Amino acid sequence: MNKGDLIEIAAKEADITKAAAGKALDAIVGAVVKSVAKGNPVTLVGFGTFKAAKRAARTGVNPKTGEKLKIAATTVPRFTAGTGFKTAVAGKKKVAKK
């Protein structure tokens, strides 16, 4: 599924236009990105949590030459799936439809 498919499904389920669904999706994604970039986690109960995580500096190896490389420390986005999402993917129960 891509962004276009998601917009189409959201428009149909919410009975709104595709343009409105696209704007809503862009607003939600933008809000999540801004919040996580500031270091604040975003939790969607039953779905999961988006947060920033620090990755320590480490030494890597170039697979082609075998040369050792220094990889700098950085902050990366992380997603942890919620219980409802995990159980739905595992096939243990159906996702509740509102």
pLDDT single digits (tens) 49-59: 999 999 999 99
Average pLDDT score over the chain: 93
pTM: 0.79
DSSP for 25-67, please give it.
HHHHHHHHHHHHHTT--EEETTTEEEEEEEE--EEEE-TTT--
pLDDT over 90 for what percent of the chain? 92
